[in-house]
Chain A
């Protein structure tokens, strides 16, 4: 009897080790783009960190606002100082669940349902994307729009470069098997 319990436990532990896996982002590219009348505003960020649990398909992501890099440094300063107020709200945080994916390997048109917290405001959001899973890796690709007014980001009328009210966010993240440090 004891032997049976032991072997079942062992078996389950092995199953856990295979299935309850976490994947951590090793490479991340996030870009936002806003097509404003005077000049397009574009920034990239490679400092986002994310984890996916393939067991319950949850996902979390932290995007440091200060790591958005603009080609014009003054624009970057205004982005941090005047719009995102990154001294007070240093990170954008997404937490959610991936639907349209059962945790198995393959290519999926999936959606992430969850909350995006940015500039101190949390909003429910659905992010469509493509998920590719192999045994050791997950790749996420997504493109979606954000209305900046939803996050309490004000655009005054008297600025010299007009800022579009909708920004397009493109992201690609590569995840590899997460090992606890």
Chain B
């Protein structure tokens, strides 16, 4: 009888440890490693001047106002640039989560631009980068320009490659080619090769520092410079405010690559901002079923 009692005590001891076996560690060991995509590599579809890898999700419409004042070194009579302004108004719509189409109109040269953006691959725990292809057509619609037909067109092709290294730091490279059908002087090439280099560092959840440098590899005449830009992104729900300093006056590729005639380091700095507002046109409602 004593022996049975002992066995019983022993077994109940075994049971109690068994029952205390940590449920959480079982769950953790069994939960599968899901594929998880990097989100919000950049807060906006623009780093500053240039496109970011971000596309709009399906059914969302973005309204983007890009505004550039004159240059800081233009003197008191120009109120250090605040008297002048160039503005681009743009609309972008997500056809699918990966495909965005956009249209914009810049006051500079009354330029109309159309573009398409397609996300080829997304960064995830299985793939290191996001790659997006960007192509645009820009057409000078200014009646005063003595250009005709295709001479008014410029085309841009870009491969945007970005990596979100951690929740704060993102980095992007953008090999770029631009074909301008008409240039102002014979010294300037019609076809340009350039590299957009951009980075974002989040200071808080809603505020980030961004910077951008876009060297052009094709020889340009001496009056042109590479675009430099530095700024702050502030995100407040459905809006993103991007405030920045840049030597580029235009907000489209053919303008801030190859047509920058201000030296950033010599005070040729335009104060500018982008205001981005996103509208959800098609809400996908998922019902909660019992």
Residues of A with Cβ closer than 8 Å to B?
A: 1, 4-5, 8-9, 12, 16, 20, 22, 29, 31, 44, 47, 49-53, 55-56, 58-62, 64, 66-67, 69, 71-74, 77-78, 80-83, 85, 87-88, 93, 95, 156, 158-161, 170, 172, 181
Contacts and interface: CB of A to CB of B under 8 A. Distances in A.
26 contacts: A4-B4, A16-B15, A22-B26, A29-B288, A31-B288, A44-B286, A47-B34, A49-B27, A51-B23, A52-B23, A55-B15, A58-B19, A64-B34, A69-B286, A74-B57, A74-B60, A77-B40, A81-B39, A81-B40, A81-B167, A83-B205, A85-B167, A85-B205, A95-B23, A156-B236, A181-B30
A95 B30 contact: no
B283 interface: yes
Nearest to A161: B237
B24 A82 contact: no
A158 B57 contact: no
Given A49-B27, A56-B20, A161 B238 contact: yes
Interface residues of B, number: 42
Contact of B289 (A12, A29, A83): A29
Contact of B24 (A4, A12, A60): A60
B182 interface: no
A87 B166 contact: yes
B284 interface: yes
B30 A72 contact: no
A41 to B, nearest CB: 11
